[in-house]
A and B are shown apart, each in its own frame.
Chain A
Amino acid sequence: MLGQNENGVKKRMESRVMLNKVMMVLFFLATTVGLIFLGLLFYRVLTQGIGYLSWDYIRSFPAPYPDKAGIWAGLIGSIMLMAIVAVFSVIIGVSTAIYLEKYASKNKFTDFIRINIQNLAGVPSIVFGLLGLTFFVYMFQFGYTLMAGGLTMALLVLPVIVVAAQEALRSVPSEIEQASYGMGASKWQTIARVTLPAAIPGILTGTIIALSRAIGETAPLIIVGAATAIYTLPDSVLAKYTVMPIQIYNWTGRPQEEWQYVAGAGIIVLLAILLLMNSIAVLIRNKFSRRL
């Protein structure tokens, strides 16, 4: 009697353990779907684009024939756009973070700003495009220029930078700020000379992540009028421009197969730049996390 019962328990146990194993494999496989997809995507892009990738491709402007077209205008446009985005989003974002962390008393108003930033992060990027269209393109009369695109993108990535900078500021040990105050330093002196320098690695990493988000964005720039065909490089912030994603989008939409390869080559350049930016971010993080 007892033996039988024990046997039953044992059997059930076995099947439960079995189920556990089967499900574990299933969970693992589900995890690999994303990874396989990623692998396929890279493989596909590389095999499609590599044939068209050359120094000529990088240095050429758009052209009506696939074998003459190049990414130069987009590459330079993207870099110039990044510079504008970086200047505005870092100054405004880091200042916002300092204000929230160091100056604002923790009250309804700061809560409001915090929730507001959280919500901004969830607004679809294309809505930022509409914002930029109303304000920067028409109201401020920048037109379809780098400046309009840059400011729109700066607002788009602002939440990323604010949150990263807040985190970086919070992780600065208060002991060293105390030490500064103890030397008779004022509040701003302490922030500028002690807190901010110690927070710079975190802020830099956040900035790079924000910029790599901006460099891949397409939709808002379509709305604020990044051009598709540009045959000269922008010579001021109030010049017409294009960026890599816009060019890629434009080529992808063309019916002849060759344009897909041109687009593929553009994607390789774009992904290479993203890879570079992320490696820098990782390097910074590793270099400084060892120290603290």
Chain B
Amino acid sequence: MISLRGIGRDFLLGRQTVHALADIDIDIRQGEYVSIMGPSGSGKSTLLNVIALLDRPTRGNYTLDEQDVTGLPDEKLAKIRREHIGFVFQFFHLIPRLTATENVEIPLVLSGMAAAERQDRVRSALVTFGLEGRADHRPDQLSGGERQRVAIARATILQPSVILADEPTGNLDQATGNQVIDMLEKLNAEKVTLIIVTHDADIGRRAKRQLRLVDGRIIADIHGGDHE
């Protein structure tokens, strides 16, 4: 359960203060499927970053699974990111010198898991996402869709309860993009909370709950999925 209360995020641009987020109140239950849409600069990425605990809000309170995480120190936040949150990016953000296997392995390495146990987990994750033939390829030897699948495998390897995706199809053609969304939805079917930021209305409509952001405010919160 994600609970945001009165969340605001200001940026200082020279002398001007930009209110990227203004007074956001929202509850997202475990296992929900939410899309966030809105014009460019409306604060979608900022909202996702706050939820991901990558960015600290200027105001407001954030409660994650009954725990107030608003002012936690870096060490604690990192642990929560590692264990509860999976992030999927528009630009994949794979480490170029590492193979697919090694990229997927990073969260396990960071968590201090023993090498033997890591191997099995990474192998089965690669199989799950249809990457077993690409295990030893580096990112520059992979297609866009494959890169995003590696990124999703990496985001899910520690079985997070929340997956956040910021325009995950933004750099993919439509067919590949749809495959990626299918994969994310499959995860959601297993009760993982899924939040997708997108510019693509078709993708946005696939979510059961659709948020619309303008100027840092939620102007629409449609629970529509049940009727489709």
Task: Say whether A and B bind each other.
Answer: no
B: residues with CB less than 8 A from A are none
A: residues with CB less than 8 A from B are none
